Structure 1
């Protein structure tokens, strides 16, 4: 017997009055249950009213099909009572004679859901009417509530919402029985919830036109029907249809709007599509003139009027206001903000007059949205007067960080507020149209913040082509359905685990979750699509990577290793997935992870190729080949996805190079041709050039100082130069130097080796026993009594090269039991979540968010709606503070670098600020807010990090405390680097220097 429970966070989307269980039995297990859907010689019928909404019939047919997919037996959906012993009765209050009769006869009570928005209840009723012994009754407060209730049964018997869209084939069973007591759902947390199909040129439109709907040659009613089915299964109710010029406008196919109504899907449009009109393709310049409201308003109003007439009797959300063509600013004769604001107010007034005239309704009763996107936000901030019944739909900055939310006054508006959020984007500084690279914990953080600031009326996710955004779509819509299930950051990982369990079973769910979260972590540090260090608008060629290859353990190689581990883990998991779910695993996990990994490896190996070639390493050629192989793997997997997966079902849906940008190309590589006799070369951590002992005063022959308090280790690359076979041996001159390998041989198949050097501190002579550290400004110039010097000899072909080794091993009494951070090579590095102490404020406290930031944890002051504190005395006395104990060997002026998640101020009057001080110094404010689409903002979103520094004084060598106070709530601190002058160039801060 298999039992599916819903008392976990992922499935706890209902307000349960009592326990709800679904039991799926096999033919051999005929345990009596309260309601049997399918058993031997039994098939349950489904009874609906023909007068009910079409979506109710659609949902019940889907349920019947789902039961058949599991059991091979399909219940008959009927409008007439067939006197079957077991019947599923489905209907909407006031629209179903069967449901209304049950209510009138006292068989069910619907007082809890009546007149509610999209609510449903499910219960078993004995002897509901003559000829029926037992009924499973699904009743909805409205047409969508009924449909959601029916499809909730599909979920509970084991059918994924992604059954069709990701080929999640249901497990086969011979019998299905269900046990439940009365269930009553809440109304959704967000009233209108859905997706925006956007940038469809390279995937969804081509797939529909060339594969799924060739008779239309476009995204037409057949395709939209499958999209609407998915939305129903995901408990969504709204769509912004595809609108690029590659796709004909939604309303140009008359059947589209009727299919939407059949599925009870509400049609809205984007910020650039006022009044349900697609300006990109509906505006004909040769017939209509220029798209300018100041000079051509009557023609524009005619288009608006036509669309309102066409849609007046259907559910829709009218986008008010106006932007220019092709996602551009509105053209205004007078180029000043006041003129633009005045014209936009006139546009909105005229639009509402059209709505009133054509619908014969009060405009305050018609759903409308205003989207302050890009320059329109500036108009709104400049005083634009907006009728308060229009919903304010706030937007992110296209990279996942919401620009602004409702202030306390705006939160009282009758129209409420919503959010338009991206997990796919075309534009500067760089697109991300291929893979789903938005961290789901970031999406949770931003959307939970929006919910806290009362944005609860419209949530729209720009998900591109749907694929491969499946998981984030479901997370987004599950949050919109019931935000109460997502109060903590940890619930995102719980949700992922439950999702993986549902799709792939208990055996692999934890490992799949770990793979996805590691993929998310790496993509947060830098999205795959940004790995060429190029930009768009205008498109630039590949740039120089800011990942270092010679400091801090080699960031390039570490990222390569992380992605190779992901590839290995994903391929192993694929072998463990049951055969009937392998296609689903390929789409939902395998292709996205392998694609991200190989795009990274393609560029990372090309960086290694160029770096190695400059040092004359024969391995440069091998790195070039690995880069080419990674590119070929992406080609192979994309071809499989399109042409072989499900026998070509998804042909044309996946493009490995949207817009054919440089990041998707095969990188150029350098070749090394060296016909000299084979020899070895050495390259040390900390230096770009190779070691050359023949140069007097060479600075590339000494490793960075080993610090006993951080237990440092560093690498030496031994590599082949020339052709042939060559042997090498490494001989430390003292026994306290440890090597990961001490000898080896190179040939054409084995061209280099990275040796890790560490120290056996138990064998290193101790320095003097002192209370404090020595004074000085150069860690390399520590007095001899604290530093021990030796070397490693590398011998090959009778030639010896020496690498210097210095070990810093003092014995300070104050550090014997010290708990905190310590200076290493001129800096102190701290992961923000590893505080020494945290002190809560009067109304705020520090909380850790898991799964976000470079360290996979950030710390923030909550609640987000707390009052900002700016006055120094308020900050010191009332604000929560983080304290970090650290110890330095040097002193003087330092830079305290803070890295935070690059969020924006929630609304005017709130910033993105915190305050820092060392010891008892006066707090210094740091503000991370950016203006518009500045260069600073571009770097922030490319790096998913904002870094600012404050000058402070370390007045002596020894113990100190760094303090960080909240100024504005919600600032998420990721890492801290106290730079005493030793920090070298790197993409990320060095690993933290916590005392060992």
Structure 2
């Protein structure tokens, strides 16, 4: 029995074993003089954090100090850490040669010391900020105003904790499309003396990254913003924090050609390597001369200016040759300026948009370079490494979006990417070798806080997540801030918030397409129905209930003179209530149009006023956001108009003078699925299968009804559907009075893993001939645009059935493993159009 207990304790993570208790108040912090500036900054921050929590600010002493009770140091730099290794307090094998790792221990002395030792400077910094987190200082204490609660008896409990290396080597954010948030906020508020995003803002960003255990930053780069290197202090600030600078796919060798200060076609000529090579090389040489002494990750190859395609309109064969030459020239420059072997310098190649085609057509990317795979800007990975690419020395990485400006529609406003989708797509990538570099497009940082936290927690320790617990991650985060008693409520709110946004993002409620033809441009009424399906009523009621729910939670927080309510507003109340008002605005406008056309003018007047009120409510919510905390965030929050989107505007409505307002009660009421116009149909309960194989999972946290069926594990070997005799999953559905039925299958619109894979599933009814559905599409095609806007691909197939059978069996077969079914409808005459609203179950 004793042996079993001993083995059990050995298997527990160090952080789960109750350690020795250390009181952080009234203490002295000691570090060696050799510590880097970045570690010293973090030590200062820790002392400030202890002061905020306990009311007593620790004294900092350099060198071995009598009475020191917190000892901080980096392996190979700190004599104190070396001495503790020799004494056996620290194990050298836990630090030597490890990337960004740390050890935290409390010594066994009569007057114990807290020891924080890092394998390198960032490892030490992460250990420092882990203590801050343990005593109650959130990484979001400044960026989301999470209050720091006073606790003069604050303690940490550690025996001997080893962090281990991060799951992903390089982890960072890209501040992008900053025109409507962080740029006006910094220019007119936080850095109004500079009038730009500059070193003061970047200092706050760098600190946040370190507290999140990140290590790299891709700075803002739109033309409205001064280029990162145009403010010389910015690069010094990043280096002083220990943050690596990387750049987006369109900024080769740290050069931002979207900024006039960096590249001006009137001054510099065309951004064309074939015709203007010397000028371009001159720019790169100058940038490397300025920046190569710092820690950077270099983007190779080139695109056009900013986010445009490569200039020159060259045939594909010549494009491949030219980019091959560009990469060779760039690597020679990098090696010369850094003085290092080129294989020792981190470099990335990002096959984004047209550069993916160049890569697929034969571009040879050197083996030591990291391939950074991209999503399609809407959360779906366009591809991952194939079997040969998995063997690359440079491994692979990911560029993922929480915010995007582009076709078919921008989503720059709210954080609505479902955590389970993010996990699923990142896991596909990670399992295929993408463990070197993860970059997250975060837009303006705010209000993407929860998505950012989930991303960085996965990047740090991916093995701690699975397809079940990832959906609970953000609720647990919020419960840790606002109280564990709210955990279940937070889970329910977030599930509903993400589900409604999955069906249709708030930014898409104008049912417009951007950068499109005339037939698809401009605001129009939604696909939700006030008539047949009554899913418009259901959507409004669901959002209203959600909004009321967070309002009641906000009121229950009380008034403790802290920033708790303001933090709650930023994290959850503003996104929920703003999303509700955006939906209310467009759905009430649609109802106005329908009522006015029907001659119900009094009721049309009522719905028109509801539209106006919703529009005003969004403005009011924005005003509250920008005005709270004495205007701390003034300029940060608006409904970004993009460059050609119209959803931020008030839709046209019709008023009739002289008519009273009347509530259209008969229309706004809804009752059940029968009243929703789904007669003659059967919506399959995906979790109510008759039988399934072990290869199939029911996953919650995605899909129109917030659960999906996953047919097999992504990455598994594809199967030949035709010869299969055993279905992966089967459903029984009732007798029908027709000879034919339509099976409508909605799948999550994944891309094939790579060129050798597809998206095939098999479907059959009553054991008959299988129909194979393989969702293939091209980026920017109408099919793809519709799918990403709807978060679903629709396939309708007709089957002959024997109407004398008492029941029928619907079977699905695995083709390309990992496909997800989000809804199935059996239709024998009741479904007049696509139905994407809630199933009503």
Contact 1:55–1:143 at 8 Å: present in 2 too? yes
Which residue is equivalent to 1:184?
A: 162
RMSD: 2.2
Which residue is equivalent to 1:217?
A: 195
Counterpart check, 1:528 vs 2:506: yes
Contact 1:853–1:901 at 8 Å: present in 2 too? yes
- String of CA shifts for 1:591-612, please: whole Å, max 9, x gaps: 1111111111111111111112
Which residue is equivalent to 1:854?
A: 704
TM-aligned CA deviation for residue 930 of structure 1: 1.2
Counterpart check, 1:44 vs 2:27: yes
Give secondary structure in 2 for the equivalent of 1:947: strand
Which residue is equivalent to 2:125?
A: 147
TM-aligned CA deviation for residue 637 of structure 1: 1.3
Contact 1:827–1:980 at 8 Å: present in 2 too? yes
How many equivalent pairs are there?
A: 818
Task: Report the more deviating stretch, 63-72 or 850-859.
Answer: 63-72
Contact 1:199–1:465 at 8 Å: present in 2 too? yes
Matches within 5 A, 1:397-416: 397-416=376-395
Change (3 A) 1:21 1:169: farther
Counterpart check, 1:648 vs 2:645: no
- String of CA shifts for 1:693-724, please: whole Å, max 9, x gaps: xxxxxxxxxxxxxxxxxxxxxxxxxxxxxx7x
Contact 1:859–1:972 at 8 Å: present in 2 too? yes
Bigger share in strand: 1
Bigger share in helix: 2
Contact 1:548–1:985 at 8 Å: present in 2 too? no
**Which of these residues, 447, 468, 487, is aligned with residue 447 of structure 2?**
468
Give secondary structure in 2 for the equivalent of 1:662: coil
Counterpart check, 1:905 vs 2:818: no
Which residue is equivalent to 1:920?
A: 767
- String of CA shifts for 1:897-945, please: whole Å, max 9, x gaps: 2101111001121111101111122212101121121000000011111
Contact 2:33–2:63 at 8 Å: present in 1 too? no
- String of CA shifts for 1:84-134, please: whole Å, max 9, x gaps: 2x610000001112212222343332322321011100001245xxxx942
Contact 1:394–1:419 at 8 Å: present in 2 too? yes
Which residue is equivalent to 2:811?
A: 963
Distance in 2 between the 1:147 and 1:456 partners? 22
Q: Radius of gyration: which is bigger? A: 1
**Which of these residues, 70, 74, 78, is aligned with residue 92 of structure 1?**
74
TM-aligned CA deviation for residue 867 of structure 1: 0.7
Change (3 A) 1:611 1:253: same
TM-aligned CA deviation for residue 757 of structure 1: 9.5
Which residue is equivalent to 2:690?
A: 836
TM-aligned CA deviation for residue 896 of structure 1: 1.9
**Which of these residues, 115, 122, 126, is aligned with residue 97 of structure 2?**
115
* Normalised TM-score (structure 1): 0.80
Contact 2:745–2:794 at 8 Å: present in 1 too? yes
Contact 1:391–1:417 at 8 Å: present in 2 too? yes
Give secondary structure in 2 for the equivalent of 1:960: strand
TM-aligned CA deviation for residue 333 of structure 1: 4.9
Which residue is equivalent to 2:137?
A: 159
Counterpart check, 1:454 vs 2:433: yes
Task: Report the more deviating stretch, 135-144 or 282-291.
Answer: 282-291
Counterpart check, 1:278 vs 2:259: no
Distance in 1 between the 2:590 and 2:826 partners? 29
Change (3 A) 1:426 1:141: same
TM-aligned CA deviation for residue 758 of structure 1: 8.7
TM-aligned CA deviation for residue 541 of structure 1: 1.7
Matches within 5 A, 1:631-710: 631-643=615-627, 645-659=628-642, 661-672=645-656
Change (3 A) 1:199 1:889: same
Give secondary structure in 2 for the equivalent of 1:500: helix
Distance in 1 between the 2:670 and 2:21 partners? 68
TM-aligned CA deviation for residue 567 of structure 1: 0.9
Matches within 5 A, 1:547-566: 547-552=528-533, 554-566=534-546
Change (3 A) 1:222 1:757: closer
Counterpart check, 1:979 vs 2:827: yes
**Which of these residues, 700, 725, 736, is aligned with residue 876 of structure 1?**
725
Which residue is equivalent to 1:287?
A: 267
Give secondary structure in 2 for the equivalent of 1:917: strand
* Normalised TM-score (structure 2): 0.94
TM-aligned CA deviation for residue 231 of structure 1: 0.2
Distance in 1 between the 2:441 and 2:93 partners? 37
Counterpart check, 1:74 vs 2:57: yes
Distance in 2 between the 1:653 and 1:208 partners? 8
Change (3 A) 1:757 1:942: closer
Which residue is equivalent to 2:289?
A: 309
- String of CA shifts for 1:440-488, please: whole Å, max 9, x gaps: 2211111122112221111111000000000000000100000111122
- String of CA shifts for 1:281-306, please: whole Å, max 9, x gaps: 11122221110011111111111122
Which residue is equivalent to 1:261?
A: 239
Distance in 2 between the 1:314 and 1:159 partners? 30
Which residue is equivalent to 2:422?
A: 443
Contact 2:696–2:711 at 8 Å: present in 1 too? yes
TM-aligned CA deviation for residue 756 of structure 1: 7.1
TM-aligned CA deviation for residue 895 of structure 1: 2.6
- String of CA shifts for 1:824-863, please: whole Å, max 9, x gaps: 74333214333221134xxxx0012111000100011232
The structure with higher relative contact order (CA 8 Å, sep 6+) is 2
Matches within 5 A, 1:773-852: 825-840=679-694, 845-852=695-702
Task: Report the more deviating stretch, 467-476 or 628-637.
Answer: 628-637
TM-aligned CA deviation for residue 659 of structure 1: 2.9
Gaps of 5+ in 2: 1-10
